Structure 1
């Protein structure tokens, strides 16, 4: 009987080791829980710097997990790429596009420890030209390098976002979107190829835009083709809310979410106000090479204002 038990124990251990080796049991790879995060970082270009979807996400997170109060840091930089590419006439020839890797070491050192990092790149990386394999490879190398940098910095959970839609009415959803389609498809394929965590923003926005234009050919999410307005930022945020099953993910519009509970609109206003000055404070503190950016508050002064608004937010949720 004892020998039989030993044989069974050995068999169970063998099966477990085999399953672990095959990826069936990988408890150590379970994603770090969003509700446990104390510091969340957003990286990206001007769309993320615009910040509306970040504020909506933080508002929903605060409502969904009221006992947790993570610091949500927006360190996106307008015009930025991970590919290191730029148009010769970018910004009327005043300066080339900045590359994330000129500042990523400082960002990760000065913002640590980061529990969860979101990264949304691609819109600028094709530099608004037709598809080119060399540019595509530069984007892929940049995303892999970014992943490596975040892992080396000890980030516990890394989440990529596909690039938003390019809203060029004159070219329909062709033109530059054919480039962004390929970038988004490659990024989504890394879920299986490399085990990356990826949230799709691009194709839901594309489907929404196509549906709207069936009724109104002049409908646009972004007046300049690149930077979405409130409705576009809501679509980006909604993809995040649905992914994490946060409050607001099942409603149709931003107003529906803001009106779902009496205090949410005021919470969103306070969070948006705080995000507005903190993103510039963080950019100034960590440093960057892009001309024309606002000079943020010194971090010591920004931290005082942050805590003042944190107290207001606490009282709002408490009441």
Structure 2
């Protein structure tokens, strides 16, 4: 009997552990702060708003506070091209603002998506690769030391070179993504692969239409690219959530979800600029956010609108 009880306990523990890795334990509390760290793709915010909208629509009672703190041009490697932004400023490094972001926001869950800028859009170089790896490992330690309860890593999105397509800079990102997936699994980190599903999607589309693109400039995906990212996140968190192939298809015949998404995107945009200004950063050229007191009032007002939709 003792042996059977031990086997049962081990089986239960294993099931719970696997469930956590797959995201089946999605049960964030109302008001819990969920932070997204990343570069300009995260700053654009569509995939973050799509994710939040779908999670709110499926779990209306649990309403965590999603905070987008993506910063354009940013890296975790601390590297920059000699003539970045026509020489106006070097790429900002996350670690220059991280302490302030964590101290002022105090997130309990953090999503992390870097890599696109860390290879500096140049051919693969081992020194740059090591700088990226060191930055990821350093960031994980910092988040753990801060007491973050759940850290979710994401591989960098696909890069679609205007001329070379997937045979250009994306080859560098392939290696970065492969390393992150392997290292995360070895360390038992929670990870969502965005890169290779996006790559497979792009490859399939190019086979049918050589002119098809996910990102006009190769870097910044449009709505479809953001949806492919959000789709992987939602499927990770709630594996049985029914999802369509495009964002428009998800919104089709769902007027409340469309309204919810518009409100969530509006709220995230207001709060994103407010938090970036409040926490501080070294990247010039961004919109100045409104004071946090005013932003909190705007958040509450939009939250009231969301509740009237039934979410």
**TM-score by shorter chain over 0.5:** yes
* Partner of residue 297, structure 2: 304
Confirm or deny that 1:190 pairs with 2:187: no
Q: Is the 8 A contact 1:60 1:246 kept in 2?
A: no
Aligned counterpart in structure 2 of residue 146 of structure 1, from 133, 139, 142: 139
Q: 1:34 to 1:268 in 2, by over 3 A?
A: same
Confirm or deny that 1:295 pairs with 2:266: no
In the TM superposition, residue 211 of structure 1 has moved relative to its aligned partner by 0.8
Aligned counterpart in structure 1 of residue 110 of structure 2, from 113, 117, 140: 117
Measured against aligned partners, the alpha-carbon deviations of 1:16-59 in whole angstroms (never above 9, x if no partner) come to 99x79xx96986x9568432242110000000000000000010
Q: Is the 8 A contact 1:60 1:247 kept in 2?
A: no
In the TM superposition, residue 259 of structure 1 has moved relative to its aligned partner by 2.2
Structure 2 unmatched runs, 5+ = none
In the TM superposition, residue 175 of structure 1 has moved relative to its aligned partner by 1.3
* Partner of residue 36, structure 2: 42
Q: Is the 8 A contact 1:241 1:249 kept in 2?
A: no
> How far apart in 2 are the matches of 1:178 and 1:26?
36
Aligned counterpart in structure 2 of residue 75 of structure 1, from 69, 75, 78: 69
* Partner of residue 209, structure 1: 202
Q: Is the 8 A contact 1:238 1:249 kept in 2?
A: no
> How far apart in 2 are the matches of 1:304 and 1:285?
15
Q: 1:103 to 1:265 in 2, by over 3 A?
A: same
> How far apart in 1 are the matches of 2:236 and 2:57?
16
* Partner of residue 101, structure 1: 95
Q: Is the 8 A contact 1:81 1:125 kept in 2?
A: yes
Aligned counterpart in structure 1 of residue 120 of structure 2, from 127, 136, 139: 127
Question: Helix, strand or coil: the match of 1:117?
Answer: strand
Residue pairs, 1:27-38, within 5 angstroms: 30=20, 33-37=25-29, 38=32
Structure 1 unmatched runs, 5+ = 1-7
> How far apart in 2 are the matches of 1:272 and 1:134?
38
Question: Helix, strand or coil: the match of 1:49?
Answer: helix
Moved more, 164-173 or 298-307: 164-173
* Partner of residue 46, structure 2: 52
* Partner of residue 237, structure 1: 230
Measured against aligned partners, the alpha-carbon deviations of 1:260-282 in whole angstroms (never above 9, x if no partner) come to 53310000001111111110000
> How far apart in 2 are the matches of 1:118 and 1:295?
24
> How far apart in 1 are the matches of 2:119 and 2:102?
25
Q: 1:13 to 1:241 in 2, by over 3 A?
A: closer
Q: 1:140 to 1:313 in 2, by over 3 A?
A: same
Residue pairs, 1:167-178, within 5 angstroms: 167-178=160-171
Aligned residues: 306
Q: Is the 8 A contact 2:53 2:261 kept in 1?
A: yes
**RMSD value over aligned CA atoms?**
2.4
